[in-house]
Homo-oligomer: A and B are copies of this chain.
Amino acid sequence: MKKENYDIMQKETKNNSFCQNLAKVSVPPSRIKITNALKSLLKDKDFNSITTAEISRVAGVNEALIYRHFDGKRGLLHTVLSEYLNEFVSNLIFDLKGIKGAINKIRKFIWATLHYYDDDRVFSQILLLEVRNFPGYFESETYQIVKQYAGFLMKIIEEGIQSAEIRDDIVPAGIRQFILGSIEHYCLPALIYNKKMDCDILADNLCEILFSGIKKH
């Protein structure tokens, strides 16, 4: 079995939790111990200043297992990030089911993303600040999922244009960029200076500005 294929099974998500019983592949416990160790350590310090020795000590497993299960220290981080993002995107897709209309979907999309940033500051900070400087990030699976996430928003926008909910004289990529950019813009200071953020108000504010601009009237 290939190294990186345990991803989906490791943590329950709304989408695939029911598959658990079917999948008879057992995830080695040491694998989970390691990812948990890294997650726990990331709460306290920079990724670069976490050592493999530290990870293995916290995980209570042999250091070399990091290389059996993952592609070294950086590979471990990317795996952990991918798993995390995967879960978020899966949940997001699930949450948007049953919502009617592009505008409503976008509202939900924004709120969910803000909530996600608020909820897990550790990963959000890594995603927003750290990971972009890593060599090879733009070839990583993590980045693929981010693109998938952005593509998902894109489809909603295009859907809205086709259903005449959204103006057709703005390029969709522009709208997507505005949304994603604004979200980051809102979250960044809160993440960095560790302030609480009020997702409801923030989402409302953003949507008001956004929709007043893009809604077909």
By a beta-carbon cutoff of 8 Å, the part of chain A in contact with chain B is 45-46, 48-49, 128-129, 133, 181, 184-185, 188-189, 192-193
Q: How far does the alpha carbon of A133 sit from the alpha carbon of B49 in the complex, in Å?
A: 11
Which of A45, A181, A192: most chain B Cβ within 10 A?
Answer: A192
Q: How far does the alpha carbon of A188 sit from the alpha carbon of B133 in the complex, in Å?
A: 17
CB distance from A65 to the nearest CB of B (A): 15
Q: How far does the alpha carbon of A49 sit from the alpha carbon of B192 in the complex, in Å?
A: 20
Could you tell me the dominant secondary structure of chain A's interface residues?
Answer: helix
Contact partner of A184 (CB less than 8 A), chosen from B48, B49, B184, B193, is B193
A46-B48, A48-B46 known; A189-B184 Cβ under 8 A: yes
Q: How far does the alpha carbon of A188 sit from the alpha carbon of B184 in the complex, in Å?
A: 11
A184-B193, A188-B189, A189-B184 known; A133-B46 Cβ under 8 A: yes
Which are the 8 A-B pairs with shortest beta-carbon distances?
A185-B189, A188-B189, A188-B188, A48-B49, A48-B48, A188-B192, A46-B133, A184-B189
